[in-house]
Every structure is written in C-alpha cells, then in structure tokens.
Amino acid sequence: MSASAPGASAPAARGRRWKRPPIFIQRGWLRLVVYGGFVLYLALAISTVEVNWSRVAEGMERGWRFVQGFLTPDFTSRSTDIVKGFVESLTMTLTSTVAGVILSIPIGVGAARNIAPLPVYAVCRAIVAVSRSFQEIIIAILFVAMFGFGPFAGFLTLTFATIGFMAKLLAEDIEDIDEGQAEAMRATGASWWQVLNWGIQPQVLPRLVGLSMYRLDINFRESAVIGIVGAGGIGATLNVAMDRYEYDTAAAVLLLIILIVMAAEYSSSWLRKRIQ
C-alpha cells in the first residue's frame, strides 16, 4: 500500500542490470556449445547435398512442358474417364467420412480418460495409435493388395484413417470439457449414458460436426493421392494421364481438384461458423 509498510523492500540501487533468463539451457558455456554444434552440423549437412546442375536444367525443361499443358487444359478428349474418376472419388469421400465418423464416436468416447474405465481406454487408445501411425498411402497399398484395384480399397483406406483422426480429436475434446456440467448431471442421479448425452454431448457436438466437415475435405484430397497407388478415383485417372504424357488432360484433372477442394473448404468453414 504505502512505501513505509513494514516488510516492503528498500528501493533498489541505480544501475542494477537485468537480463531475461535463458529459456532452455541455464549454463552459458553449455548453451554456446549446443547451439554452436547445431549450426556447424547444419552447415556440414548442407555442404554434402550434391546438386547435378545439368539434371536440374533438364527438369526445368520438362517443367516448362508441364506449364504449357496447364495453359491448355484438355477437358474433352478423356471426359468419360475424368467424370468417372470424380464420381468414384466423391462417392469414396462421402461414404468413408460417414462410416469413419460413425465408427470413431464410440472409440473416441472410449479413449477419453475422464469417462472410460482403464481397460476400455487402453484398447481404444491402441486402435487410435495404430490408425494414426500409418500414412494413408501405406494403408492403401495394403488394402489394394488385399481387395484388388478400385474404389473399395480406397473406401476402406479413408475410413480407417478417419477413425484415428476423429477418435483422437474427439477424445481430447471430451477430456477438455467443463467437468462441472457433467458433475451436475451425475448429482441428479443420471446414469452413465445420461451423463454422456446431457453433460458431455452438448459440449463436444459443435466441434464434432466441424471436424467431420474438415475430415470430408481431407478425405477428398487423400482420395486423389491414394488413386495413384491403385485405390481408384480421380487419382487413378490422373496417374494414367501422366503415364501417357497427356499433360493437358492431367492439368484439367488438377484444376478440377483445386476447384472442388476450394468449394469444400469454403462451404465447410461457412457451416462450422453457423453451428457454433
């Protein structure tokens, strides 16, 4: 309150220096060695990258042909392939997102430590970990080998990837809820299912819907990628066009992908804003 209050410290002497304490390493010399070593390693690593300049020049030339293809996209000569590819991709995207979200809800609930018993939690977390540890392409290669070329393998791949993504984020969201609301439901004598439906669901539902829209986005983009390893869809069409050096058709496919991704992006962000 006042300067004369007992216990207040004496006014500091002038010229007393102050420096922000370092964030990571307290000892000065050690900090110098660690950071210096890192810079040295970086310099050495960059110097070992071999650059074949004549090959780069050749690449530029091919790139130029590609750019020319882009300037004259050809939508017509392979139009049936393109339409078929997009229909397959969109079907794959929608079905796998719906299936993946439906399957991910029980797993996400089970993977939330604050509402699931330990054994259930362990199993669900294991499922999430397995699903998330493989990139879509690796899973797609596996499913193509199991079920043959085509969109069914793609559907399974995207569903599998969606489960890990959605379940993990849903579980984290449930763990972050305001416990007071769930506690209040418990105090009224609500059963576990009622606490889930009344105390937890209203808190996580808007984000669940938003994430599903986001995942729909991701699944469409992934469906183009996994087509390249044989899982059907627009990726397969694109791959064939590249193999035939039909850069104008490939350009048409890429342009359409960009358009659809942008449309999905805008509509999903609009929807997410609406449901908050």
Q: How buried is residue 84: exposed, middle or buried, by Cβ count under 10 Å (0-12/13-18/19+)? A: middle
**Contact call for residue 191 and other proteins (CB under 8 A):** yes
- Judged by CB, which is closer to other proteins: 112, or 241? 112
**Contact call for residue 79 and other proteins (CB under 8 A):** no
**Contact call for residue 114 and other proteins (CB under 8 A):** no
- Judged by CB, which is closer to other proteins: 121, or 198? 198
Q: How far is the CB of 196 from other proteins (least distance, A)?
A: 10
Query: Among the candidate windows 39-47, 176-184, 215-223, 233-241, which touches other proteins by CB under 8 A?
Result: 176-184
CB atoms near residue 41 (< 10 Å): 10
Residue from 185, 225, 238, 264 touching other proteins (CB under 8 A): that is 185
Sequence-distant (≥ 6) Cβ neighbours of residue 97 within 8 angstroms: 158, 162, 212, 215, 216, 219
Residue from 26, 47, 189, 274 touching other proteins (CB under 8 A): that is 189
Measured in residues, the chain has a length of: 276
Q: How buried is residue 249: exposed, middle or buried, by Cβ count under 10 Å (0-12/13-18/19+)? A: buried
CB 95 within 8 A of CB 209: no
Rounded to an integer, what distance in angstroms lies between the CA atom of residue 169 and that of residue 70? Answer: 38
Residue from 64, 122, 202, 263 touching other proteins (CB under 8 A): that is 202
Q: How far is the CB of 195 from other proteins (least distance, A)?
A: 8
Q: Which of residues 128-157 bind other proteins (CB under 8 A)?
A: none
Angle at 199 between CA 217 and CA 108, to 5 degrees: 40
**Contact call for residue 199 and other proteins (CB under 8 A):** yes
Number of residues that bind other proteins (CB under 8 A): 21
CB 125 within 8 A of CB 170: no
Residues that bind other proteins (CB under 8 A): 178, 180-181, 183-191, 193-194, 197-199, 202-203, 205-206
